[in-house]
Amino acid sequence: MNKKEALNQLNLEFSSQIKSPLIKTCQNIVPGMGSASADIMIIGEAPGKKEDELGQPFVGAAGKFLDQMLKTINLKRDDIYITNIVKCRPPNNRDPWPEEKEEFWPWLLAQINLIKPKLIVTLGRHSLSSFVLDPVMSKVHGTILRKEMPNLGKIRIYALYHPAAALYNGGMRETLIKDFKKIPKIIKMINQGEI
């Protein structure tokens, strides 16, 4: 079984085992999409309305913005892996509750351990808070956080604002684009053993 098949199998198994009440209110489980051998894994918080309808991550307005940013650094969705902390849409797009994040955490852990990305890019506070306790986005955005985590070992996290928040805030949008454009340099530094 190659890595792509292993990831598909992993997502199928977790999809069938999830007991979250969110299963009853969502249309589709959204495991993620992209390359099983990606150097970069982008993690959001939870699917929105459009994602729930189509069963794919980041396909609404925030997803279009994400695609534009990927294009600026010469990447496509097929080059990375995109997923969320919570794989089912919370009702009315509310923020995921801590217990919901906890329920889906083993699935995300398994995805990270299989893909083994060089860099985990978190989009927004909810995604980052699954890795870092009480993050202050205004202080940590655009920075690399090295963490030693149980069941994951040493990982590198790159904290970014969520594209949805940046859509409605011009200053945040500029900051996010600027931070996003640093990703190729960060990957190069990782490859050279500098970070």
Task: State the pLDDT at residue 142.
Answer: 96
Residues 19-30: tens digit of each pLDDT: 999 999 999 999
Residues 30-89: tens digit of each pLDDT: 999 999 999 999 999 999 999 999 999 999 999 999 999 999 999 999 999 999 999 999
Average of per-residue pLDDT values in the chain: 95
Query: pTM for this one?
Result: 0.96
Q: What mean pLDDT is predicted for residues 102-120?
A: 97
The yes-or-no verdict on residue 154 having pLDDT over 90 is: yes
| Spatial distance between the Cα atoms of 92 and 171, rounded to a whole number of angstroms | 27
Write down the residue that tokens 């890019």 correspond to: 121
Q: Residue 185 is encoded by which pair of tokens?
A: 């340099």
Cβ neighbours of residue 131 closer than 8 Å, sequence gap 6 or more = 120, 122, 145, 147, 149, 155, 157
Give percent of the chain with pLDDT exceeding 90: 90
Helical segments of the chain, H only: 3-17, 22-25, 49-54, 61-72, 98-115, 125-128, 137-140, 163-167, 170-180, 183-191
- Right CATH number for 3-191 from 3.40.470.10, 2.40.30.60, 3.90.730.10, 3.40.50.720? 3.40.470.10
Task: State the pLDDT at residue 1.
Answer: 84
Q: Packing angle between helix 98-115 and helix 3-17, nearest 10 degrees?
A: 160
